[in-house]
Amino acid sequence: MKLKIAVLPGDGIGPEISREGVKVMQVIARKYGHEFSFQEALCGAAAIDAVGDPFPEETFRLCEASDAVLFSAVGDPRFDNNPNAKVRPEQGLLAMRKKLGLFANIRPITTFDCLVHNSPLKDEVVKGADFVCIRELTGGMYFGPKHEDDESAYDTNLYSRPEVERILRVAYDYAMKRNKHLTVVDKANVLASSRLWRKVAQQMEKDYPEVKTDYMYVDNASMRMIMEPRFFDVMVTENTFGDILTDEGSAVTGSMGLLPSASLGTSTPVFEPVHGSWPQAAGKNIANPLAQILSAAMLLENFGLMDEAASVRQAVQASLDQHVRTPEIQVPGGAHYGTVEVGSWIAQYIEQN
Ligand SMILES: NC(=O)c1ccc[n+]([C@@H]2O[C@H](COP(=O)([O-])OP(=O)(O)OC[C@H]3O[C@@H](n4cnc5c(N)ncnc54)[C@H](O)[C@@H]3O)[C@@H](O)[C@H]2O)c1
């Protein structure tokens, strides 16, 4: 298969993990006889520094003309600590999502048995937890009408019926492929936007009689996720709630560096880690590349390359089993492996197995 992949390394640890993701994809291409081409483009703070725009037109055109985007992370403390900054790296991320129509963010939250002790939760609570959070990505407060001055500010949590319907459709399709259990997370006891979500979901429920649909307030869901994460199979929620709940999901699995995601919509799909640019770790060769590498596996699955994706997942599992791990998940007394060493080990494992 021929695939044209736009690579957006971004900021902080982004370029380091990006290289490992590409390294793994290149090995897959060689092993399975595919032709993957990779072209890098600027985004985030790196793009602001270079051309004053966090998602330059040139980057957008490359993404649009590609089959997939392998994205890493954006964000820089120079902007985080300056509330008056007129242009911010994260605007690049939002612009990418909006311009590529990426309305569905798929975030699998999978625990690895060998890492359950890394979770701050009890082993018996975490073991076997495996669910998918589907986050709406181009609506809600992040994109609704806003106002900001020194005395008052607001963000509007605006959703239309078609926006809610299309994301619920994605969620139901996922539930049908998994254990047929969908949890719709909202705040319908307080928010009008959530009542629309619930109304639409209750109407759509009838189209999916095999799926058990339940409804949960977001405050309850955030508690349930850490009390009983195995309860969930597929969870669907709006943009803001999904942003927060999926970070909580990373605590369930034990490291931010383990969670991949896919953002799908009306144009080129984007595959990216859930975590940010962890600027404090940039250049230190300590960032875990697994979220990026597993995002590459999701990319392969998106194009039906199931054996190739399975080969990546198997190599990731082997690296964990054999304690080839970055420091945040290494066993006490375990050898030191950096971002590059973990990526290279996985690439070599794929080549040899
Ligand atoms: N999608 C994105 O690009 C994205 C998402 C979230 C935050 N951000 C931006 O990233 C910057 C830093 O934000 P933050 O500190 O809140 O979140 P972050 O995800 O960058 O880091 C939070 C913590 O997660 C852990 N972590 C993150 N990535 C890891 C990895 N690969 N391996 C091991 N551990 C890892 C570290 O302990 C880190 O302290 C900010 O500028 C923020 O706006 C970007």
Within 10 angstroms of residue 81's Cβ, the number of other Cβ atoms is: 8
- Report which DSSP code applies to 318: H
- 229 and 93 in one domain? no
Are 87 and 108 in a shared domain? no
* Whether residues 142 and 121 fall in one domain: yes
CA of 4 to the centre of ligand 1 (A): 27
User: To test the ligand 1 pocket, which listed residue (20, 115, 278, 290) has its Cβ within 8 A of the most ligand atoms?
Assistant: 278
Rounded to an integer, what distance in angstroms lies between the CA atom of residue 186 and that of residue 168? Answer: 13
Residue 269: inside a domain, yes or no? no
Q: Does residue 300 belong to any structural domain of this protein?
A: yes
**123-150: burial string, b at 16+ Cβ within 10 Å, e else:** eebbeebebbbbbbbbbbbbbeeeeeee
Residue with tokens 């106002």: 147
| Residue 214 appears among annotated catalytic residues | no
142 noted as active-site residue = yes
Determine, yes or no, domain membership for 170. yes
Give phi and psi for 158, each to the nearest 5: -90, 125
List all residues 6 or more positions away from 198 whose beta carbon is below 8 Å from its beta carbon. 184, 186, 188, 215
Q: Which of 219, 235, 264 is the last residue of a domain?
A: 264
Examine residue 216 and state whether it is found in any structural domain, yes or no. Answer: yes
Q: Are residues 239 and 341 in the same domain?
A: no
The reply to whether 281 falls in a domain is yes
Number of CB atoms found within 10 A of residue 84's CB: 4
Find tokens 């380091």 and name the residue: 16
User: 6: Cβ–Cβ under 8 A, 6 or more apart, which residues?
Assistant: 39, 40, 41, 59, 62, 63, 66, 68, 69, 70, 268
Q: Which of 221, 236, 264 is the last residue of a domain?
A: 264
Q: Are residues 114 and 240 in the same domain?
A: yes
SS3 sequence of 235-298: EEECHHHHHHHHHHHHHHHCCHHHCEEEEECCCCCEEEECCCCCHHHCCCCCCCCHHHHHHHHH
**Which CATH number does the domain housing residue 172 bear?**
3.40.718.10
Which of 22, 267, 237, 256 lies closest to 120 in space, CA to CA? Answer: 256
Q: What is the mean pLDDT of each run of 10 residues along the chain (353 residues)?
A: 98 98 98 98 97 97 98 94 88 93 95 88 93 96 94 97 97 96 98 98 97 98 95 98 89 86 95 95 98 98 97 97 95 95 98 96
- Asked if 44 and 75 count as a contact pair (C-beta separation under 8 A), the reply is yes
Answer yes or no: 247 catalytic: yes
CA–centroid distance, residue 337 to ligand 1 (Å): 20
Q: How many domains does the chain have?
A: 2
Residue 126 shares a structural domain with residue 237: yes
Position 119 in a domain: yes
Q: Are residues 147 and 215 in the same domain?
A: yes
14 Cβ closer than 6 Å to some ligand 1 atom: no
Pocket test for ligand 1, best of 270, 275, 280, 325 (most atoms within 8 A of CB): 275
Gap from CA of 254 to ligand 1 centroid (Å): 14
Nearest CA to ligand 1 atom 44: 276
Are residues 96 and 4 part of one domain? Answer: yes
Q: Do 192 and 318 fall within a single domain?
A: no
Q: Which atom of ligand 1 is nearest to the CA of 291?
A: 31
What does pTM read for this prediction?
0.93
- Note the Cα 159 to chain centre separation in Å: 22
Query: Of the candidates 70, 19, 12, 9, which has an alpha carbon nearest to the alpha carbon of residue 341?
Result: 19
Q: Which domain holds residue 59?
A: 1-102+275-353
Whether 297 is covered by a domain: the verdict is yes
Give a yes or no: residue 270 inside a domain.
Answer: no
Q: Chain-centre distance of CA 197, in angstroms? A: 22
Query: Is there a single domain that holds both residue 350 and residue 220?
Result: no
**Cα separation, 54 vs 198, whole angstroms:** 35
Q: Which of 241, 264, 287 is the last residue of a domain?
A: 264
Rounded to whole angstroms, the Cα distance separating 323 from 68 reads: 31
Is there a single domain that holds both residue 87 and residue 76?
A: yes
Q: Are 127 and 195 in a shared domain?
A: yes
Q: Which long-range contacts (CB under 8 A, 24 or more apart) does 227-230 make?
A: 227/125, 228/125, 229/109, 229/111, 229/121, 229/125, 229/126, 229/129, 229/131, 230/128, 230/129, 230/130
pLDDT of residue 217: 98
- pLDDT at residue number 124: 92
Q: Which of 219, 284, 307, 321 is catalytic?
A: 219
Sequence length of the chain is 353
pLDDT at residue 118 in the model: 85
